[in-house]
Structure 1
Amino acid sequence: MVGDGDFSFSLALATTFGSGWNLVATSLDSYEALTSKYGKAESNVRELKRLGATVLHGVDAKKMMLHSYLETRRFDRIVFNFPHAGFNGRENWLRVIKAHKQLVHGFLANARQLLRPYGEIHLSHKTGLPYDAWDIEQLAYKSCLIMVRKVDFSKEDYPGYNQKKGDGVTCDESFPLGPCCTFMFCVEDVEKLKQAHGNRVGLISSCLGGSKFYPGISATDMAWPFDLHPAWPQPHFPPLHLPIAFDPCPFGAAGMEYPFDCYGTSFHHQDMVQPTHQQQQPWYQVGPPPIEQPWTPQEQQSLQRGYEIHRQLTPSLEDRYMESVEKQAMFEMLIQVYGRQ
């Protein structure tokens, strides 16, 4: 259990099973903060330990795979009920939605590393606007997870469970649930899924609240309603051991030629500009003419490889244009969604 508030949900599970020896319950708050925020936290923790459960405090859902106790263990089920990043504004504000999505994405990425083979991640979440804008399935897809089932969440199935606000002066009060469900994810071979379903896995509800869930239809049965933009080409760095032809003019521009030899310039391989204007030099500045040192093949390969890496890592104008088009489409979609409220 991750982020269990006052540990009432963990206690409900342990009581139903009759034992908590295989249950690990965690909270973000320290034990002192927990007991000061929730009236029943101390008794719930004491009862959980009596039933044999392991109780951990100060566990960040976005970093839990690095926890000293959790990093060496793997679990059949990892549960997170109603994740929330805090009350920092209205729930339909974009920055608030972004904070919630960062929390969920961090949790899913960490939970994936702590799963046993064929294990599942259960995440309970409200449905409807603005909660559909969290785009839970797409966040799971980014962590190489797919949804195997989605069921309605019923509080009555867990006697004694009390969902808490967890923040502010009303932290010990319950918040209304309303329509909510539990997403069940598992780790899957993403490459096989892409081949089988045409790169459409987990792309439901990507319209920031504009989609609708249909019972009996999985994520792979519904098509993405918009044309997908082509992804950026992956950089391909030339290996060091292959010979590379050196191009003296990599940008397609030849050196400039001047009609007057007396004011022309000559470019050395070392990028030094030497004026050819002939004038009388003082005796202390007169010296032997500079000796041109041609580039070695190794130096030419190094320069060409550095240029190729820089060229491929720098986004092209076309990529920047496609990115701006995607942002404009997202903003227009947000205006349509929230303009109806």
Structure 2
Amino acid sequence: MATEERDRSERGTAGQDRGGAKADGEFVRAGNAFKDRITDEEGARWPVEPGRYRLVVSLACPWASRAVLVRRLLGLEDVISLAVTDPVQDERSWRFTLDPGDVDPVLGIAFLSEAYHAADPDYDGGISVPAVVDVPSGKVVTNDYPQITLDLSTQWTSYHRDGAPDLYPEHLRDEIDEVNEQVFRDVNNGVYRAGFASTQTAYDQAFQRLFRRLDELSERLGRQRYLVGDTVTEADVRLFTTLVRFDAVYHGHFKCNRHKLTEMPVLWAYARDLYQTPGFADTVNFDHIKRHYYQVHRDINPTGIVPLGPDLSAWRTPHRREELGGRPFGDGTPPPARTRGRLEA
């Protein structure tokens, strides 16, 4: 992902450094500063090691929610611990005010920025989630969100639960990568390009690309249950985390209002199918999602008022997607039910 000039005076876009705007008003997402990988290769600087790393997320963030969801589906909850930040960050970065004493109980820090500066004392860029932190040193290892989930699927296989799905099957990787690139450009990041556009032309272009891509995805998903192959893959994870936020945030807050998700029959059924698939819904927190976007983005929503809607009950209604065939976990099994309560582990 290309890194463009950033306006560091702006706070994050639901997890990622906000980036800046070109002269024509187009929003440009900033790149990721920490790109080390945790691998199972011999002699790796950051080796795969149960209990060593802590995944820091905001449940408001679609990029972070990918990692939470993949960790859940693969059964890595007892292998990589999870820290959940307050959905509303301040000028000091993401904060651990959901924890006793406002300090993360494992890392012993009050703000995620402390882990960034432990890794690089001179770092002056954005503080984003998801971030994987090395617990012994307290240093951020990576905030490279596209690679984090792929590595959870490919580097941590020795610690996947029995029956874990293959979210990045080798024979489908080229197709998954192609779909992911299109979905990122026009949908995942497309909603931000519309929401943070600073000229009418830039907004119009982002809006048109977004809904053109959604129409193409609707056509594709009208023929098959999942985006690639006949099981849930990384491609479905990446699209889901945007769709689940669409009506709650992007339709109104980001002016992506040609149609609501609930008015796009194929995508709405597809999103409900995934939401009702074990492991998906229990990583979604609509309260965190709405409070972050509406309270942090004061340039878009100056009053900070958080809307009460939409009605969420329809997420549990029948979708009939099973008629298209396919099985979410293939020959694997659903993740075990999670006890109710906070996600931290």
Q: After TM superposition, is the score higher than 0.5?
A: no
The bucket for the TM-score relative to the shorter chain is: under 0.3
Instruction: Report 1 or 2 for greater relative contact order, CA contacts < 8 Å, sequence distance ≥ 6.
Output: 2
Select the structure of larger CA radius of gyration: 1
* TM-score, reference length from structure 1: 0.28
- Which structure shows the bigger proportion of residues in helix conformation? 2
Structure number having the greater strand percentage: 1
